[in-house]
Amino acid sequence: MAKIVIALGGNALGDNPQEQKELVTLPAKKIASLIKAGHEVIVGHGNGPQVGMIFNAFADAKKVNEKTPLVPFAEAGGMSQGYIGYHMITAISNELAKEKIDKDVLYFLTQTIVDAKDPAFDKPTKPVGPFYKTKAEAEAANPNSTIVEDAGRGYRKVVPSPKPVDFIGIKSIKKNVDEGAVVIVGGGGGIPTIEQKGQYIGVDGVIDKDFSLSKIATAVDADLFIVLTAVDYVFVNYGKPNQKALVKTDIAELEQYIKEEQFAPGSMLPKVQAAIQFVKSGKNKEAIIADLSRVEDAVNGKIGTRIVSKL
């Protein structure tokens, strides 16, 4: 049996709380099924739609009532972790109860340490928040922020996407994993946090959740890192007559495909890079990229792209 870290996409959880409460039952059932089979499971999730909903709501409310406070992006990320965590703990606990499995389900609000000198801070690229008609309006609503014109649709705030370095509380996270709890961690990649004069400070930013969960998988000494998406396999020459599914591949082959720009930035590319990062972290480490609805089949080698160090 394996220690498995699962990266679940935020889009799988819908666009609002009611959708999420319903949709979260599917990953909860899959997680319970893996635990019933004897695996240890640690799970993380994306939060793109959710943090956007929260950030936009406060920004829009301020347009109507100037007394409404602006909520910084880091705080919006924390809020999203809280309500996603509530739904995930409830859904997974209910599924474990159905299977008569007695395990604690814990959610760690995750602060991810990033390097204050990460080049990403000099070039913010991730659009967040609502659109504004003019740059002046956007700047007034987002003090001390970088504002860009977004594809002819208006002006938006952009934030950096730094790489994860470490996690506040990682020792406690590992301890609870080792004691057998089902741990939910690394939500949305975690709240970007820098160290400054011995103090932690949350900053604007979006950390790729797959990179964060890959590092967490290494930290807890997982055997298997699974990135769940909407396809059964990673493909090369995607959408072309010579399209090919990668069933089992290794680091060298994937790195060559990355050079050939086979994987879309912002979509499959970071998933592949995060999988490579984990596989490189130690002996006998494997990663799988597969469809959420068939995660048990992926673990059992029936579907999914399995990534090993060397074929």
- Structural domain that includes position 204: 3-308
What are 234's two structure tokens? 């990673």
Write the pLDDT tens digit of every residue in 173-207. Answer: 999 999 999 999 999 999 999 999 999 999 999 99
For residue range 213-232, list pLDDT tens digits in order.
Answer: 999 999 999 999 999 998 99
The tally of domains found in the chain comes to: 1
Residue 125: CATH number of its domain: 3.40.1160.10
Helix (H, G, I), strand (E, B) or coil at 85: helix
**Residue 9: what pLDDT?**
86
152 flagged as catalytic: no
Residue 259 annotated among the catalytic residues of the structure: no
| % residues pLDDT > 90 (the chain) | 75
Instruction: Find the helix or strand (DSSP H, E) in which 35 lies.
Output: helix 25-36
Q: Which of 30, 157, 215, 271 is an active site residue?
A: 271
pLDDT tier for residue 157 given thresholds of 50, 70 and 90: confident
User: Is 11 annotated in the active site?
Assistant: yes
Proportion of the chain above pLDDT 70, given as a percent: 100
Q: What is the pLDDT of residue 13?
A: 87
Which residues lie closer than 8 Å to 72 by C-beta, 6 or more apart?
202, 204
pLDDT recorded at residue 52 = 85
Encode pLDDT of 24-36 as tens digits.
Answer: 999 999 999 999 9
Which residues, 6 or more positions from 157, have their beta carbon under 8 angstroms from its beta carbon? 127, 128, 129, 138, 142, 145, 146, 147
Catalytic residue, from 30, 47, 48, 126: name it: 126
CA pair distance 153, 247, nearest whole angstrom:
40
User: Strands, E, within the chain: which ranges?
Assistant: 3-8, 40-45, 105-107, 111-114, 126-132, 146-149, 155-159, 164-167, 182-184, 191-196, 199-202, 224-229, 234-236, 244-246, 248-250, 286-291, 305-308
- Residue 154 falls in the annotated catalytic set: no
Per-residue confidence band for 143, with pLDDT thresholds at 50, 70 and 90: confident
User: Is 271 an active-site residue?
Assistant: yes
